[in-house]
Amino acid sequence: MEKLLFFSQNCGKISEVQKLFKGLSINLISLKDLDIKNQPNETGKSFPENARIKSMFGYKHFNIPCFADDSGICVEALDWKPGVLSKNYLESFETNVDCLKNIINQVKQTGKKKALFKTSICLTLKENYHIVFEGKIEGEISSNIIGGGGFGYDPIFIPKGHNETFAEMSTYRKNLLSHRSIAISKLINFFS
């Protein structure tokens, strides 16, 4: 395979995924390396559906094998939402900090601390040929916003069995545990 496209412009995701592909004989590129004006509408009702919309779009647009990730957080105190609407939820607040504070307050009010991250990766190798790989990690919402690394909801998510948020961990450490790294490992196994 000459090139494999990761259909993402999210620097946080790209950095995690690039590190997981390091040392492999796969020429991984992302949307940061290409010129793209249009983005598909993520109208799916589930992570796999949205991942498939994006990977199919990338495959058709650039005519190279393509995979896309759709991820999100599910919070017990929010009835396990926002899930597939995680991006819209974050963007519905004036700042990310407002959103994270709001989640922490909901957790304090309800006493429900549990949360999980989910990822679906869809790989499109040819038209109408898609393979989906899933990853999930359980944990809880921290009582404060902690850590300067990562992105999105990382500063409030403490993976089960740990006492730091994802945002306090290096990419290397997050990659030993995360929902995305679980799904990407399955993708890499598929290629090998």
Report whether 123 contacts 130 (CB < 8 A). Answer: yes
SS3 148: coil
Report whether 153 contacts 86 (CB < 8 A). Answer: yes
Tell me the residue type at 8.
S
| 140 counts as binding ligand IMP under rule CB under 6 A | no
CB of 25 to ligand IMP, least distance (A): 26
Q: Retrieve residue 73's tokens.
A: 């957080």
Give the binding range for ligand IMP (CB under 6 A) out of 31-39, 82-90, 100-108, 183-191. Answer: 82-90
CB of 74 to ligand IMP, least distance (A): 11
Nearest residue (CB) to ligand IMP, 4 versus 100: 100
Site map for ligand IMP, 26-65, x if CB under 6 A?
----------------------------------------
Nearest residue (CB) to ligand IMP, 28 versus 40: 40
| 181 counts as binding ligand IMP under rule CB under 6 A | no
How far is it, in rounded angstroms, from Cα 185 to Cα 74?
22
Report whether 115 contacts 75 (CB < 8 A). Answer: yes
Instruction: Report DSSP letters for 91-105, one per residue.
Output: HTSSSHHHHHHHHHH
Nearest residue (CB) to ligand IMP, 4 versus 53: 53
| 153 counts as binding ligand IMP under rule CB under 6 A | yes
| Candidate list 74, 90, 103, 177; residue touching ligand IMP; CB under 6 A | 90
Nearest residue (CB) to ligand IMP, 76 versus 154: 154
Report whether 149 contacts 167 (CB < 8 A). Answer: yes
| 152 counts as binding ligand IMP under rule CB under 6 A | yes
SS3 readout for 25-65: CCCEEEHHHCCCCCCCCCCCCCHHHHHHHHHHHHHHHHCCC
Q: Which residues bind ligand IMP (CB under 6 A)?
A: 10, 69-72, 86-87, 90, 117, 150-154, 166, 178, 180
